Amino acid sequence: MNDFEETPDPVIHAFDEYVAEFRKGHGDPSPFLERFEGSERKSLETLIESFVATGPESSPDPGDPRFNAVFEKVLDEVSAPAGGLSEHLALLRQKAGKTQAAVVAALAKTFEATPQEQEKIDEYYHRLEWGSLPASGLDGKLYSALAAILGVEPESLKEAAGSLGSRYGASSGPVFARSLDQVDLAEDASIVPGVIGQAVPDSESRSEPSRPDRIDELFTGG
């Protein structure tokens, strides 16, 4: 039995009904406000506002298709193995006015990489900005090197890696402005998302060496 069925005040009754719906994840008060006009409607609005201001929690039905559809969309946007580092790196690189190639060259110089090692750094860095390289494998020396190249503290990169984030190409909105010399342009000169002027790096596309080298250890922990 619903306790609120006993309530004679229709506005309070509507408030209690709203609370019950809210708990199921239906936060829109419109269907309840629309039952009233004038000051009754305002007083219901006030009660609902006060209730919401307490920061109440909801618990949607696991089978609710609308909730599940929204959740799947959210999950898609925050499930990058690199966490928030992917977007953060791209933004920092843009602010520093550097291309990916320039960052890769700077990393290669820092670590005195051979040409073959630089190729590896190139692929790893692309995967990192793409969001497909797990941030958990990144070495502290790499964070320091990237931070120095991009003009930030290593902690900011580690913090970004410790949060959740999108893969490149997800609808991350305007944050993901890429350098023009790194992207392909469509016929109307708009940016083509997901195309970075070369083959999309795939975590399985490169054959793994039988023994991790120092570059592997920098980016994946070996």
Q: List residues near another protein by CB under 8 A.
A: 3-4, 6-9, 11-12, 15-16, 19, 22-30, 39-40, 42-43, 46-47, 49-60, 66-67, 69-71, 73-75, 77-79, 81, 83-84, 91, 94-95, 134-136, 159, 162-166, 173-175, 177, 190-191
Give CA 88 to chain center in angstroms: 10
Nearer to another protein, 9 or 213 (CB): 9
Q: Residue 110 or 156: which CB sits closer to another protein? A: 156
Min CB(204)–another protein separation in Å: 15
Encoded tokens for 69 = 């559809």
Measured over the CA atoms of residue 109, residue 113, residue 118 and residue 123, the dihedral's sign is negative
Distance between CA atoms of residues 73 and 77, nearest Å: 7
Q: Which is nearer to another protein, 16 or 129 (CB)?
A: 16
- The single-letter DSSP state of residue 185 is B
Would you say 18 or 125 has its CB closer to another protein? 18
The answer to whether the beta carbons of residues 167 and 86 sit under 8 Å apart is yes
Which residue blocks in 131-172 are alpha helix, DSSP H?
A: 140-150, 154-161
Radius of gyration for the alpha carbons in the chain, expressed in angstroms and rounded: 25
Q: In angstroms, give the least distance from the CB of 110 to another protein.
A: 25
CB of 53 or CB of 199, closer to another protein: 53
In order of 36, 107, 109, 154, 162, the CA distances from 141 in angstroms are 64, 11, 14, 9, 17
**From the CB of 201, what's the least distance to another protein, in Å?**
19
Closest CB 112 distance from another protein, rounded Å: 30
CB of 166 to another protein, least distance (A): 8
